[in-house]
Amino acid sequence: MKKLIMVSNRLPISVTKKEGALKFYKSTGGLATGLSSFYRNYESKWIGWPGITSEKISKEDRKKIRESLLEENCYPVFISQSDLERYYYGFSNKTIWPLFHYFIQYAVFNKNFWEGYRKVNRTFAEEVVEFARKDAIIWIHDYHLMLLPRMIREKLPDASIGFFFHIPFPSFEVFRLLPWRNEILHGLLGADLIGFHSYDYARHFLSCIHRLLGYEHMLGQINVEDRIVRVDAFPMGIDFDKFAGAVKKPEIQKEAKRIKKKIGDRKMILSVDRLDYTKGIPQRLECFDLFLERNSEYREKVTLILVAVPSRTGVEHYQILKRQIEELVGKVNGRHGTIGWVPVWYLYRPLPFNKLVALYSAADVALVTPMRDGMNLISKEYIATKVDGRGVLILSERAGAASELGEAIIVNPDNREETVRAIKEALTMPEEEQIERNRTMQERLKRYNVTRWAQEFIDRLEHTKELQRALQVHRITPQVRKRIIGDYSKATRRLLLLDYDGTLVPFAGKPSRAQPDPELRKLLGGLTSDRRNEVVIISGRDRKTLDNWFGPFDVNLVGEHGVWIKERGEDWRLIEPLKNDWKEEIRPILELFTDRTPGSFIEEKEYSLVWHYRRANPELAAIRSRELKETLLDLTQNRDIGVLEGNKVIEVKKVGISKGKAALNWLEKENWDFILAIGDDWTDEDVFEVLPEKAYSVKVGFGFSRAAYRIESPEKVRELLGQLGGKSDE
């Protein structure tokens, strides 16, 4: 059975000490209970803080806590009061929470908090490493532990590590405010899979790692050092059957009836949240106030039950918010209330599960209007309890859940007019319409429940691991290297097909920086002076540059991705007669994109046009290059013009011309007994494709390739070529 280690700030079991005795409480809601059926497939452990600080417990207590928790497959991480202040109340809740929810004005940037955060993450890492076997699956939850993936990876390089964010990930402009932004990103990238509730958050994260660390991605896949990391959206579901089933229980039905009786023949609107400034509770009260003011016919006809569950009571902003809510409740009740009718019933306490479900079930309308919310499960749970289909959900467009619950009345929580209209619409919505909307949402929530969510996350994590392993198989191992060198030395006719930029020299862009350095010149000198070798440099560069750089060498050249060919000792020749009339049509399009993308430019080669965007803003360039490619592909359909994507370039040229076709010029010449081709980008794939089976093909860097082997960098390419006999550096 596979071993699964869940890691989160809090354990699903909390410990308290009263009058010298330890007490254990299971949290009823949340991940732990929702995932019980999923767990059965694994030998699982949960690592987290048990909710009591080290100062409050003796050595003996620790032992007892450990033992009792282990019976429930939990393992405690003990945290001292001062570390808790810095790590949890400080960095997690006064820095990350407000910043990631766009409450920038509340975010505190304090070095002491940050150090506490790092320290506690380190403590978590030590505990996890102690538990995890090499093949364990480690699933880390949420923003309290963003440094953990890298810390674990340093100790367990092959571990499967997944990270899931339960809160939003902000846009680059907001994330960049964080002084420790790069450390956080590096920390997260220690994971193999990073999951978010929505594509928007995933997109923000990808944009941050692109702009701050320079990592590009392909469909959510990033090459970090020598590992693939996946970024994806997994909208969290609920335990649908638990909520739908609970409503049918007699004790809950009884409770719902009791609530309805108290409300009388009035309509009931429900609002439930942790008391948090992200949930938009004051704004919601103001909307209800405005609703009553505008719609006098609803006075005495509607009641808002406002449940605020105490949360982070030690943090100042939460204390201020609590007072603010209490004042507002008083204000609304004072303004609109009558003898016998209190418009807002306010409850400041956690409710037992049965009471909560009874409230969901009794409510005609749920008003869920957070300013920002990673997902918001309350909205999903409300829908799940509507077994007869009646009930209306009003949902903020800024809750992650809004992208799945499109049949709800969706509002902008800052638009009071719209929210007031939504309340009216909800109260007057015909029953058939309520049922129709709810049924659609219920189908979806039932299908994508919490078990499915967890399973998809773990499946994707395992798939990412498989992909990493598959790519590792292709790395040039010492044995393969030995075989290449052995075959090379035995051979009497050898063909070396070498790309230039990104293969023999690091990708530099500017010609001045890319020209062959003394080490490379020696290497080429060594290889070309051996009469058994035929060296072909296959480049996208133009003839003039290639002549300047390689004139002194006894080498074959291919220019402009295969348009031009120059055999040793001969002149340049066109691979086939070419016409250039298409350029007039394509050039204006490239010019238009150049104007719209500052930093990009057009290079005109004799038989191709190239749009370079490496100096443009990477995000804008990513959008524009996709747009341009689509436009060009449309235009060139069914014509003999091809669109080619290279490293930060888009090249348009006649089809049928490729590095592969040029390579055939030498491949077909004789029966070589050793062939080696090395390249780094898409244009080199054409060479790999035409090689005979016995040839060695090597891709520089990571990413998908037809090549049989891969090598990390141009430095490593030089090392390999040096070992083949190009070595002349002594």
Bridge partners of 305, per DSSP, are 270, 345
Q: Is the CB of 167 or the CB of 365 nearer to ligand GDG? A: 167
* 353 lies in the binding site for ligand GDG (CB under 6 A): yes
* 374 lies in the binding site for ligand GDG (CB under 6 A): yes
* 560 lies in the binding site for ligand GDG (CB under 6 A): no
Nearest partner of 3 among 159, 230, 150, judged by Cα: 159
* 356 lies in the binding site for ligand GDG (CB under 6 A): yes
Place of tokens 């040039």: 476
CB of 404 to ligand GDG, least distance (A): 11
Q: Which strand ranges, in their side-by-side order, compose the sheet holding 74-76?
A: 74-76, 42-49, 2-10, 137-141, 160-164, 193-196, 227-233, 221-224, 217-218
CB of 403 to ligand GDG, least distance (A): 13
* 350 lies in the binding site for ligand GDG (CB under 6 A): yes
Q: Is the CB of 28 or the CB of 81 nearer to ligand GDG? A: 28
* 629 lies in the binding site for ligand GDG (CB under 6 A): no
Which span (200-208, 373-381, 519-527, 574-582) binds ligand GDG, by CB under 6 A?
A: 373-381
* 272-291: contacts with ligand GDG (CB under 6 A): 272, 274
For ligand GDG, which residue of 151, 236, 426, 557 counts as binding (CB under 6 A)? 236
**Cα angle vertex 21, ends 20, 24, to 5°?**
140
**Cα angle vertex 199, ends 196, 205, to 5°?**
65
Secondary structure letter of residue 607 according to DSSP: T
CB of 246 to ligand GDG, least distance (A): 11
CB of 172 to ligand GDG, least distance (A): 21
CB of 272 to ligand GDG, least distance (A): 6
Q: Is the CB of 315 or the CB of 537 nearer to ligand GDG? A: 315
State which amino acid sits at residue 386.
Answer: K
Nearest partner of 450 among 84, 147, 31, 122, judged by Cα: 31
For ligand GDG, which residue of 129, 212, 351, 602 counts as binding (CB under 6 A)? 351
* Strand blocks (E) in 302-391: 302-309, 344-348, 365-368
CA-to-CA dists, residue 384 to 381, 401, 407, 557, 575, angstroms: 5, 14, 14, 68, 67
* 373 lies in the binding site for ligand GDG (CB under 6 A): yes
Which span (347-355, 404-412, 464-472, 657-665) binds ligand GDG, by CB under 6 A?
A: 347-355
C-alpha 275 chain-centroid distance? 28
* 3 lies in the binding site for ligand GDG (CB under 6 A): no
Which span (68-76, 369-377, 555-563, 674-682) binds ligand GDG, by CB under 6 A?
A: 369-377
For ligand GDG, which residue of 160, 271, 376, 594 counts as binding (CB under 6 A)? 376
CA-to-CA dists, residue 202 to 10, 167, 222, angstroms: 24, 11, 12
Q: Is the CB of 374 or the CB of 646 nearer to ligand GDG? A: 374
Q: For 474-609, where are the alpha helices, taking DSSP H only?
A: 478-490, 511-514, 518-529, 543-550, 583-596
End-to-end Cα distance, the chain: 56
Q: Is the CB of 209 or the CB of 454 nearer to ligand GDG? A: 454
* 375 lies in the binding site for ligand GDG (CB under 6 A): yes
Q: Is the CB of 167 or the CB of 514 nearer to ligand GDG? A: 167
Cα gap 497→516, rounded to integer Å: 17
Which span (350-358, 442-450, 504-512, 700-708) binds ligand GDG, by CB under 6 A?
A: 350-358
Which span (175-183, 345-353, 534-542, 659-667) binds ligand GDG, by CB under 6 A?
A: 345-353
Q: What are phi and psi of 99, to 5 degrees?
A: -65, -45
- The answer for residues whose C-beta is within 8 angstroms of residue 475's C-beta and 6 or more apart is 709, 710, 711
List 83, 239, 364, 499, catalytic entry: 499
* 381 lies in the binding site for ligand GDG (CB under 6 A): yes
Provide the 10 A C-beta neighbour count for residue 199. 14
- Sign of the torsion formed by the C-alpha atoms of 599, 222, 700 and 629: negative
Helix (H, G, I), strand (E, B), or coil: what is residue 545?
helix
Q: Is the CB of 33 or the CB of 631 nearer to ligand GDG? A: 33
Site size toward ligand GDG (CB under 6 A) is 19
- Tell me, yes or no, if 373 is annotated catalytic: no
* 9-68: contacts with ligand GDG (CB under 6 A): 28-29
For ligand GDG, which residue of 4, 132, 167, 524 counts as binding (CB under 6 A)? 167
Which span (348-356, 469-477, 508-516, 681-689) binds ligand GDG, by CB under 6 A?
A: 348-356
Q: Is the CB of 206 or the CB of 401 nearer to ligand GDG? A: 401
Which span (289-297, 346-354, 650-658, 670-678) binds ligand GDG, by CB under 6 A?
A: 346-354
Which span (248-256, 371-379, 642-650, 657-665) binds ligand GDG, by CB under 6 A?
A: 371-379
Q: Is the CB of 374 or the CB of 726 nearer to ligand GDG? A: 374
Q: Does residue 230 contact residue 224 with C-beta atoms inside 8 Å?
A: no
Nearest partner of 683 among 663, 712, 665, 708, judged by Cα: 663
What is the secondary structure of 194-221 as a DSSP string? EEESSHHHHHHHHHHHHHHH---EETTE
CB of 372 to ligand GDG, least distance (A): 8
Which span (224-232, 376-384, 416-424, 464-472) binds ligand GDG, by CB under 6 A?
A: 376-384
Cα gap 727→538, rounded to integer Å: 21
Structure tokens at 509: 């862009």
* Strand blocks (E) in 19-116: 21-26, 42-49, 74-76
Secondary structure letter of residue 96 according to DSSP: I
Q: Is the CB of 377 or the CB of 711 nearer to ligand GDG? A: 377
Provide the residue count of the chain. Answer: 730
* Strand blocks (E) in 413-552: 494-499, 533-538
Q: Is the CB of 233 or the CB of 429 nearer to ligand GDG? A: 233
Provide the 10 A C-beta neighbour count for residue 678. 26
For ligand GDG, which residue of 159, 202, 306, 378 counts as binding (CB under 6 A)? 378
CB of 350 to ligand GDG, least distance (A): 4
CA-to-CA dists, residue 184 to 150, 190, 214, 374, angstroms: 10, 10, 15, 19
CB of 438 to ligand GDG, least distance (A): 18
Site string for ligand GDG, 655-674 (x = CB under 6 A): --------------------
* 259 lies in the binding site for ligand GDG (CB under 6 A): no
Q: Is the CB of 99 or the CB of 236 nearer to ligand GDG? A: 236
**Cα angle vertex 87, ends 85, 90, to 5°?**
60
Site string for ligand GDG, 117-156 (x = CB under 6 A): ----------------------------------------
Task: Point out the residues that are catalytic.
Answer: 499
The site for ligand GDG (CB under 6 A) is made up of 28-29, 166-167, 236, 272, 274, 309, 350-351, 353, 356, 373-378, 381
